[in-house]
Amino acid sequence: MSSISVPPPKCLQKPLAVPHRHMFGPGPSNVPPRILDAGASPVIGHMHPEIFEIMNDIKSGIQYMFQTRNSMTLAVSGTGHTAMECAIFNAVEAGDSVLAAVNGIWGERAAEMAERIGARVNTIVAPPGGFFTNAELEQALSKHKPVLFFLAHGESSTGVLHPLDGIGQLCHKYNCLFLVDSVASMGGTPLYMDQQGIDILYTGSQKVLNAPPGTAPISFSERACQKIFNRRTKPVSFFLDLSWLANYWGCDGKPSRVYHHTGPVTAFYSLRESLAVLVEEGLEKSWERHEKVAEYFHAGLESMGLKLFVKEKKARLPTVTTIVAPHGYDWKEITIYIMKTHNLEISGGLGPSVGLVLRVGLMGCNSSKANVDMVLAALKDALKHCHKSKV
């Protein structure tokens, strides 16, 4: 046998070095020591009874966070995109009609995922920074008669918090499942899955929850389960097949759990701890804190002469703020200067908001007036030192 031809990489012969940064972009957010410590607990088997107990704790925490009594509640092994695909791949079959509300990148992504599995996809489109009235949504539901309607509650690419009241009832009137993306909003603003008639709801671990990216809480109503478990065809993804996931998470009422995949056990530890932190503070107090900090931040921005991208106050996402890119400045230069000088991440736009906005995320433990003051000071410094065009 010949000797190895690829030498050991020199980069891996150096110790790992990761800087500490203020993560004030749209996500991920900073992970507090308590949650980092939980994730460093010893690895045990993904089918051990202690892991099942931790998974049961997570399920209870998600039910509280989502305000739902759905038994079909779990965390997908993956980021928010994984949960989005889990929802769509299980609820939709080839040929089904799907309607996606597009007022930012997440509606675009949901539409593409549904198209890829052969759904007949229609969209209702609002300009970046805008949202839809219930009358507009009802008109689209009546016209397209979808089996599934997608809406982003917190559109992090544009900073819009979309109203939810009444939409679930409209969907059910037209025999349609209501799918809501709450990755950027969950825990930072009121949301009531059961009361608001949401059939499928998901979020991510890395925003308000302050856990590392890699787990995505999701829940399915009885209506959603009836459609999913009476499919004509199997879901396109084995990994995201809800019948398997339901068993692994103990949601199907069966006496034993069967191996499906190796769950990311250390990520489960972190997610459980992050849910415990939310339970200790209380949902309503978390909502109130994020709202007050956002109001303080918005007032500070306006006092600097900066403009908020979302015009209507009630439609502003309290977790991710979009600021109109300052006239005459290169937004990239601003974000690079702030990172280099203040060790602080803020970002530019995403999807339809590229070039239009700066985005600042203050989520979970990062949502504080002290952090607002830090961001405002960094922005003032950047506007003073970055090049401004005279055109």
- Going from the C-alpha of 8 to that of each of 2, 5, 17, 107, 328, the distances in angstroms are 16, 10, 19, 44, 49
359 is in an annotated binding site: yes
- The DSSP secondary-structure symbol of 38 reads H
The 3 state secondary structure assigned to 317-340 is: CCCEEEEECCCCECHHHHHHHHHH
338 CB contacts (<8 Å, ≥6 apart)? 344, 345, 346, 378, 379, 381, 382
Question: Would strands 160-161 and 148-152 be described as parallel, antiparallel, or unpaired?
Answer: unpaired
Report d(CA 114, CA 121) in Å as an integer: 7
- The string over 60-89, giving b where at least 16 C-beta atoms fall within 10 Å of a residue's C-beta and e elsewhere, is ebbbebbbbebbbbbbbbbbbebbbbbbbb
The closest of 154, 220, 137, 150 to 190, measured between CA atoms, is 154
Q: Please enumerate, by residue number, every residue annotated as part of a binding site.
A: 359
- Please enumerate, by residue number, every residue annotated as part of a binding site for substrate: 359
